[in-house]
Structure 1
């Protein structure tokens, strides 16, 4: 899955616990009718991927959705979701309108020389 938009904020790398678990968050604002502010976290060695990016850049982030179950001390089960990034790249600004190849010029096509409408009428009525 992917999230695409403009970087709004990049947090500092945070370290947790005795094992040195590292996490860094980035907020991306999507560019759609109703823009969303999506927080994506990068963990461990992936935190370094954010070093070459800054607020205001248009990016595409490859993500995984993570979900986990947790039982609180009262025995209630709670569920949490996380959006975890594993790749980030500068988004290409494509003004040509999608992935369509460019149309060749009209002189690239050879015109039909012996087209007779009566001979090529294959309509059933």
Structure 2
């Protein structure tokens, strides 16, 4: 299940790390955004391992759009939930910030075909 949510970063928590029972190292970092609805909600997202890099260049107070998955698991009769972020984009007043396309240059125009029978159109 893949979902998206827009909001303002309220808090970026400190990274955590450890070693699983299987001996694998792991890292995680959580951050909280607040939605901009009539009744704003605060949502805490989790980033794991290589996804921690999504927070680079983003600071508290910035508007972002987060793509995430919801996951639930049962342990000893209780259910636990994760909101795992896998993509994050900064948002401007008009929407998600995208990189501008490269500037058009005259040398980008392909050369015209050669004149002659092989260059002529068949009609």
Report the TM-score, using the length of structure 2 for normalisation: 0.69
How many positions carry a matched residue from both structures? 90
The equivalent residue for 1:86 is 86
Report the TM-score, using the length of structure 1 for normalisation: 0.68
d(CA) in 1 for partners of 2:36 and 2:18? 33
1:37 matched to 2:42: yes
Residues 64-91 of structure 1 show CA distances to partners (whole Å, capped at 9, x for unaligned) of 00111112xxxxx111111000000012
Residues 84-119 of structure 1 show CA distances to partners (whole Å, capped at 9, x for unaligned) of 000000123228xxxxxxxxxxxxxxxxxxxxxxxx
d(CA) in 1 for partners of 2:25 and 2:61? 30
Counting only pairs closer than 5 Å after superposition, residues 39-78 of structure 1 correspond to structure 2 as 39-71=44-76, 77-78=77-78
Unaligned runs of 5+ in 2: 96-123
What's the C-alpha RMSD, in Å, of the aligned pairs?
Answer: 1.4
Unaligned runs of 5+ in 1: 72-76, 96-125
Task: Determine which structure has more spread, i.e. the larger CA radius of gyration.
Answer: 1
Compare the two structures and name the one with the higher strand fraction. Answer: 2
The equivalent residue for 1:116 is none
